[in-house]
Every structure is written in C-alpha cells, then in structure tokens.
Structure 1
Amino acid sequence: MDLVITIFYTLLALAVLISFHEFGHFYVARACGVKVIRFSVGFGSKLLRWKDKQGTEFVLSALPLGGYVKMVDEREGSVSSEDLPSAFTQKTVWQRMAIVIAGPAANFILAILIYWVLLLNGTTGIVPIVGSVIPESIAEKAGIKPGYQVVAIDGKETPTVQKLHSTLLDRIGESGDISFTVRLSESSEPLNYSGSLDNWMSGYSDLDPLKGIGLILYMPKTPPIIDMVIPKSPAEKSGLSSGDLLLSADNQPLLDWSSWVEYVRERPSKSIDLQVKRENTSFNTTIIPESILSGSGAYIGKVGMSVKAPVWPKKMIQEFSYDPVEALIESVYKTWDTSAMILGSVKKMLVGDISLKHLNGPITIGKVAGKSAEYGISAYLGFIALLSISLGIMNLLPVPVLDGGHLMYFVIEAVKGSPLSDRLQLLGFKLGIFLVVGLMSIALYNDILS
C-alpha cells in the first residue's frame, strides 16, 4: 500500500509539473500565431482525448512521465500553403525564443504561486543556536562558542536553521574568508568572527555543511519514545509500536533519541537486545537493523521508526507572517534564491566540487514525494515547488534536446543572422542525447545504491 501511495503522489506531482511546462509552450505559441496540432501529457494508454475550436488535439495518457506540444513545423515534414504562415519556423527568431523559454518560465511561475499560497498561511522556523563546536573545526578556530546564535554568514541573515544550512551550502568548494555574525541573546550586541576556507568540502560524498563547518546546533533533549513504526521494518518485526519508550540497548541505558540513532547506525545487521517500556509494563525484545549503504559509501544500520517531535523553547521558534503583497514578493525572492542554489550546485558538480553521488533520479524523487505527502499538504506543495524550479533550471541548460539547447541555437541565429547548418544542429542533438542519457543513468545508479 505504501508503494502504491508513493507512486500515486509521484505521478501526481509529475503530471502537474509537465502540464504547466507544456502549457507555457502552448500558450506563447498560440499568442505568437503558431498553429498547435497536439498538446499531450503522458505516455501509454490514452485516458482522455478531445479537440478545441482551433483544431488542437488535447491528449492525457496513463503515465505522466513526459509531454510535448506539437506545432506546425517545416522541419518535421511538408506544410500546406494554408498552414505555412502559422508554422513555427516562419516566426521571427525572437518569437521562437519566447516559445522555447515559456516552458521553463511556467515552472518558475508555478513555484512562485505555490510559495505565495504557503506564505499567506505564515511560516515558522527554528533559531540557529550553537549547542557545541567540533574541536579543531573552522568554527572553533574562528572563535565560535556554545550558546551563540548565528545571526548571519558573510553578511547574509540566517534567522532559521534552514536559512543557515542553505547559506553554508553556497560556500561548498570555495576558498577564502568566511564571516560569522553571532550574539549571545536578543538584547546583546552582534559579534563578528572570521574563518578560512580551502576548497571547503570539495568532493565530499556526505554534504552536511553544519558539521563540515564545525557546528552542532542545540536541540532539546529528545527521549527515545517511538512515534511511528514503518510496516515490515525491523522495528515492526520486533514487536515495537508507537508510544513505546526504549530503556536500554544491550544493557546500556538510552538517555535520549540521538544515542539510540548512533547505536543503531554503528550496528548494521547486528542483533541488539532491547528493554522497552509500554504503558505500565516492561519487556525485552531483539532487533536486527537493516544494512543500508550511506552516501559516504559506508554501511549503516536502520530499523524503521521515527521519534516523537521534541518540544522547543518558545524563544527558539521564529514565526513569520505576510500580507498578500509581502507574500508575493517573498515568494519571488525564494524562487530566485532556490534557482541560484540549484544552478550553483550544477556548476560545482560539473567542476567536481560536489560529488556526482548527489545526482538523484526518479526513485529518490518518488521517495521524497511520498514522504512529503505523509507530512501534509504544505510539505507536499513545497516539494512540488522545489521540483518545479529544478525542472525549469535543468531545461534551461544549454544542452541540445533541452529547451536551453534550442534557445542556444536561436541566440546564435540572432547574432550571425542565419541559423546553424542542419549538420551542426544534428551533431549537437546527438551530443545532447548522449549527455542526458548519461546523466540519467548516473542518477538511476545512485538511486539504486541508496
């Protein structure tokens, strides 16, 4: 049942993203006077098919794993004299550019709309307060101490843990100074410290920028009380259920959830004797963690359970509220920042600063889709927005067969006054197919390993 739900939410997300993307091409093509023959979403058995007054056929197929907008185009066969004025190839190079850009643009607009709706309901975040500093780390050498609130990195405000995390991600693979702005309390004056980076975390397979910089953020003590048990997991097979309190593992007391997590991670496929308290009774059971290959290439243990969320001090919870205009402006900024982060990550992956092990494919997308849906509609919509931005960015890359490749050809045509020869365009498309298939293969390989 979990697999069915995951597949459903994955296909739903893809259907929405592909429909918006192709609608962008469709809408601008019609606005430019191009005759659209077919607007199709999906492959396989056709579920719906109809035509509008302008003769465009709309098709919805069973598997929404792609889509296309078929226009009248002299490159794809002979065109009647009646349809020639409305052919894609008869439009100006600027109109053709607009049609090509419209697909990715629609993905960005969708992300902005989703973020706008989410921001209208207000958001919350956890204030980043340092719990401890890793010895000999960049943070320790800079002078950062436990209890400091990280206010900014390199002058960029970090009001929440999520913002701190994304700001540090931007510095991966870089060298030079990094500045920390911190304070001890809301009323205290900010303090400035600086550290030094040298190809920071370049090529790391485990991208944890907080740990990489040497910061372990404060978390309230979380007792090892089970919140949810995944069906057919080692936890379920051991008879554990929601609400159980884990007392000890191999006769070693479990003081909090993190100690239990570390104990499990270090014992893949090894039997663990557990003492458990359920309501007013205690019992013993044995659990054998699954052996999972982590991103670092090491095998770790996993038992398939989650913990009850800790209670955070009110002073550490940051709440944000927006009126409609403020929410729209913030959603544009958020989409821009996310786009810049994804584009920066692509660049760093190409030059080797970020390992290709972090290139994910359809299996990972499916897992995240299903997991985000479990957390509620807001998390699922946020996932769709992020995926929509990723789709927009990837399609704008100057790789033939992608929208960005077509755009590159049209820019060359605009500059030189004539299109590239058919031979060069065909060579580019073959190279583009090779690159896309290669990247998809790497992504699928990473999915299978994880």
Structure 2
Amino acid sequence: MAEFVGSLWWLIVSLGVLVTFHEFGHYWVARRCGVRVLRFSVGFGPALWSRRAKDGTEYMVAVIPLGGYVKMLDERGGDVAPAELAQAFNRQSVWKRIAIVIAGPVANLLLCVMLFWGMFVIGRPDYAPVVGHVEGIAAEAGLQPGDRLLQVGDRATPTWSEAQLALIPAALDHADIPLQVRTASGSTDTRELALSRLPAEFDERRAVEAIGLTPRHLLVPPRVGRVAPDTPAWGILAEGDRISAIDGRQVDAWGDIGPLVQRLGERGGKAMVEVERDGDRLALELQPVRMESEDGEPYWVLGITSARPEMPAMDAELHYGPVAAVPAALREAVHQTRELVAMIGRAFSGRVAVENTVAGPITIARAANAYADQGPAWYLSLLALLSLSLGILNLLPIPILDGGHLLYYLIELAKGSPVSERAMAAGQYIGLVLIIGLMGLAFYNDIVNNLVH
C-alpha cells in the first residue's frame, strides 16, 4: 500500500512539474506575441482550484493530472469581438504561431538542462564501474574481475550507471564498441566488445547480462543461506558459512561455486571445502551428489542455497561544481536527446520491441517512486529524462501534438496559404486515432511489464 501511495504521489508531482513548464512555454510566448490567453490549466476535467487574474486569464488545476492545456482566444473556437481580433491566435502571423507552438517543447528541453544541472550540483551517488564477473563476449574481450571501466565508446563512465547506459544502445545496435579500462594492477588498456556477435534476439531489458558482464556490487557473496536435509552438505556446512575455496580453487562470489562443484563432481571423489565460520577458518570434506534435470542432463550439487545478499554501500558519485555543471548539463541533454531519437528510430524500424520503449503511467509512477527513494539527485535525473521525452515526443509530426501543428504551419509557409479546414479536421481525426493507439499500447505495456511479469 505504501508503494502504491508513494508511486501515485510522485506521478502527480512529476506530471505536474512537466506539464506546468510545458504549458508555461506556450503561455509565455503567446503573451509576448500579443495573444490573449483565456485559460491556463494543469490537468483535464472539472476544476479542483481556479482563479481569474486581472487580465482575464483563468488559472486552473483540474481533476485528471495527466496533461494540461493553454486555451487562447481563437475565432475557430467561437465568436470573437471585433475589438479583440488582433489578440486572436488565428490572426497572428505564421511565424508567431510557430513560435507559440514550439515554445512548449522548448520549455521542456530547457527544464531538462536545469534538472541535469541540479543533479550534478547535488551529486548523484552510485556504484563504481568495477567488473565483478565476466563470461561470454565480455570474457572473450579480455575483461577481468577488478577492471574499472573508464570509457565506453566516446562516453566517460565515472559510475556504473553511466557505463550501463553507454553499453545498452551499442548492444541494441549489435555494434562493436571499444572500452577503456584500468586493470587491477593499475595499467590502462583498451578492450573491444564484439557486440555484433550477440544473438539476433535477446532480452533487451538484460542487455548487459547478455554481454556477460556483472558489476562488482551485484556479485552475490558466497555465504550459505540454507542447507537442504539429506544432502552432502547436511550436518557439515551451516547457515552463515562463507565459502572461500573449493578443492583449492578460490571462491570470490556465489557464482563461482556452481562451476567448481560441477568440476568436482565430474572428477569424482571427495574434496576440501574451505569456509569461514564465526571468525574461524575450517576445511571440511565434501563430495557432491549427482542429480538429473527435467531433460535428463546430469548435474552435481552440494545441497546449499545462498544467503539473501544486502546491497553494498555506494562508492562513487556523479558530481560537478555549480559552474562546471552548466556545460556538463548541456552535454548530457544533447547526449540524451541523441539517444532518445535513436531509440525512437529503433522502435519504428523494429530493432527494439515496442514494449520496452513505450511506457505508461504505471511504469512512470513506479520509476518515479523508486528514484525518489534513492535521493533528490536520482529523482532529478529521472525528471530530466521525462521532460526531454515530453519535449521530443511533442515535436513528432502527429496532428493534435505540437509537432502536428508545426507541420501545418510549415506547409502554410511552403504553399503561401493556410491548410484548409477540411484537411486540418481530417488530420485531427488521424492524430486522435494515433494518440489513442499510443496510449493503448502504453497501458498494455504497463499491464504486461508490471502486473503480469
């Protein structure tokens, strides 16, 4: 229940901030262009609160917090007094109408930069980009446990989140990418990840796992959680034991145990399992037992499960001073804009599943709650990405969206006369169908990704 309430609260806060800035962009430029604004509404539906200013503009907060709008004086919306015709939106020059329409997305882009600046100044705590375990493509590239990722492609990676965000697009594009690493010995080397060798189909939500890369902070410690009765470990190993070696081979993480047990079982006979228990180091003799999987494949077990691990303390931070944060925020906004446009291109080309690119209110609410729990810098980073997404998506040339209106005005500039009312009406219907379809897809993805999985 607490998670539901928190998610709902942060969804309302997030949408409230983003929509207010977006609509304020339209409002501010409209007023500067001499257009009379009749209503500035955050949300849709009946008013929860409203106030009429001296200039006649009604400011309103509505019941449904999933958007907002700015209503301007316009002859297409009703009769306009002759004395007010000069203040009507439709009577403005095409350049003024373009400026008013594009102002909303621009406001979201400016807000994105401001939020990134705030994130950098506050400092976003994170984990160091240190390799914990490698296999598959990562191992073939020569990465080793203890390597620190300094740069992925042309993007510096001071934290694990930065490294992950640089790796995922390359994996989705199956593009080979160079890594600059600092080895455990302190030398700096370059590795080449052959991501072109990734399977044509893989779980896009686990792209880094598909590469075969596990960061140090996600390694499960080799601590025994439960010993199953009537198994080789029963009565020998105990809950809380930390396994340090099997048959003379060092164990650093829980993932090391399985392959060593399989090797021991295939070899046959007993071996020494070294453990740490209550400050003492013990060497205990064990012999795995053979089991069979459902498809008849043999495997070997000791009869233990891992203890539930606790996440370690964060050991890195993404941080800049107030001055240095300005160019850093601009660079981040430009980078994320490129990545978002590229992701939209992947979705339209079918290279990325749409269920992983179109998120609905449930996903946004849960993400906002989770990021807010991690601290203000993390929440600002999410809000910046949402603001950027809102700005870019509104520029898509779909009627009803700002980009659709912009398309009409660009056509008007090209042909020298406004688009006909009939063409605009047809476009509005097409745009409405597209938006309803997009919203339906977003809600479907929410159900599949959050309620079914």
1:366 to 1:63, Cα distance in 2 relative to 1, 3 A: same
The answer for the alignment partner of 2:211 in structure 1 is 213
Task: Give the 3-state SS of the residue equivalent to 1:69 in structure 2.
Answer: strand
Q: Which of these residues, 205, 221, 226, is aligned with residue 248 of structure 1?
A: 226
Superposed counterparts of 1:250-269, under 5 Å:
250=228
Q: Give the aligned CA root-mean-square deviation in angstroms.
A: 3.0
Residue of structure 2 equivalent to 1:352: 350
Whether contact under 8 Å (1:174, 1:200) holds in the other structure is: no
In structure 2, the partner of 1:105 is 106
**In 2, distance between residues paired with 1:394 and 1:91?**
25
Question: How far 1:60 moved relative to its partner?
Answer: 1.4
Q: Which amino acid aligns with 2:109?
A: F
1:366 pairs with 2:368: no
Structure 1 segment 170-209 matched on structure 2, within 5 A:
170-185=169-184, 187-188=186-187, 190-198=188-196, 204-209=202-207
Question: More displaced, 14-23 or 321-330?
Answer: 321-330
Residue of structure 1 in register with 2:140 after alignment: 141
Alignment of 1:17-166 (within 5 A): 17-135=18-136, 137=137, 139-166=138-165
Instruction: Give the C-alpha shift of residue 375 in structure 1.
Output: 3.0
Alignment of 1:383 onto 2:385: no
Q: Could you say if the C-alpha distance between residues 194 and 221 of structure 1 is closer, same or farther in structure 2, counting changes exceeding 3 Å?
A: closer
Task: Report the AA paired with residue 102 of structure 1.
Answer: A
Give the direction of change, closer, same or farther, for the CA distance of 1:110–1:220 in structure 2 (3 Å limit): closer
Contact 2:217 2:311 in 1 (8 A): no
How far does residue 361 in structure 1 lie from its aligned partner after superposition? 0.5
Q: 1:303 corresponds to which residue?
A: none
- Cα deviation for residue 186 of structure 1 reads 8.0
Where does the alignment leave 5 or more consecutive residues of structure 1 unmatched? 225-244, 264-305
2:323 alignment counterpart: 325
Please say which of residues 320-329 and 195-204 is displaced more in the overlay: 195-204
Q: Which residue of 2 aligns with 1:285?
A: none
CA offset digits 1:176-199 (Å, max 9, x no partner): 5422222315842x3223344449
Any conservation in 1 of the 2:120–2:325 contact (CA below 8 Å)?
Answer: yes
Check 1:91–1:322 CA distance in 2 against 1; reply closer, same or farther (3 A cut): same
| Distance change >3 Å, CA 162–CA 221, structure 1 → 2 | closer
Alpha-carbon distance, 1:420 to partner = 2.4
1:89-137 Cα shifts (integer Å, max 9, x gaps): 12121211111111112122222222222322234443322222223x2
CA contact (8 A) 1:47 1:61 kept: yes
User: What are the residue-to-residue correspondences of 1:282-321 with 2, within 5 Å?
Assistant: 308-311=310-313, 317-321=315-319
How many angstroms apart in 2 are the aligned matches of 1:5 and 1:131? 33
Checking the alignment, whether the CA contact within 8 Å between 2:43 and 2:64 is kept in structure 1 is yes
* 1:414-429 pair list within 5 angstroms: 414-429=413-428
Tell me the amino acid that sits aligned with residue 206 of structure 1.
Answer: E
Alignment-mate amino acid for residue 101 of structure 2: V
Write the distance in 2 (CA, Å) between the matches of 1:94 and 1:417: 13
Q: Is the 8 A contact 2:129 2:160 kept in 1?
A: yes
Instruction: Pick closer, same or farther for the CA change 1:60–1:307 going to 2, 3 Å.
Output: farther
Out of 334, 339, 342, the residue aligned to residue 337 of structure 2 is 339
- The structural deviation recorded for 1:336 is 2.2
Larger-Rg structure = 2
TM-score, length-scaled by structure 2 = 0.75
* Matched-pair contact (CA < 8 Å) for 2:10–2:369: yes
Matched letter for residue 329 of structure 1 = P
- Aligned 8 A contact 1:40 1:67 in 2: yes
Kept in 1: contact 2:398–2:431 (CA 8 A): yes
Q: Distance in 2 between matches of 1:200 and 1:350?
A: 21
Classify the secondary structure of the residue corresponding to 1:170.
helix
Per the TM alignment, residue 353 of structure 1 is displaced from its structure 2 partner at its CA by 1.0
- Cα drift, residue 380 of structure 1: 2.9
Looking at structure 1, the residues matched to 254 and 382 of structure 2 have their Cα atoms a distance apart, in angstroms, of 30
Deviation per residue, 1:404-440 (Å, 9 max, x gap): 1111221222223222222322222222212211121
1:223 is displaced (CA, Å) by 5.8
User: Counterpart in 2 of 1:5?
Assistant: 6
What CA deviation, in whole Å up to 9, does each residue of 1:332-387 have, x standing for no partner?
Answer: 22222222222211111111111012122111112222223333333333332222
1:436 aligns with 2:435: yes
Contact 2:122 2:377 in 1 (8 A): no
Mark the CA change 1:307 to 1:342 in structure 2 (over 3 Å): closer, same or farther: farther
TM (norm. structure 1) is 0.76
- Show structure 1 runs of 4+ deviating over 6 A: none
Relative to structure 1, the CA distance from residue 259 to residue 405 in structure 2 (aligned partners, 3 Å threshold; closer, same or farther) is farther
Aligned to 1:445: 444
**Structure 1 residues 341 and 50 mapped into 2: Cα distance closer, same or farther (>3 Å)?**
same
Single out whichever of 339-348 and 176-185 deviates more from structure 2: 176-185
- Give distance in 2, aligned partners of 1:393 and 1:161: 27
1:155 and 1:181 in contact (8 A); partners too: no
Cα gap change, 1:81 to 1:356, in 2 (>3 Å): same
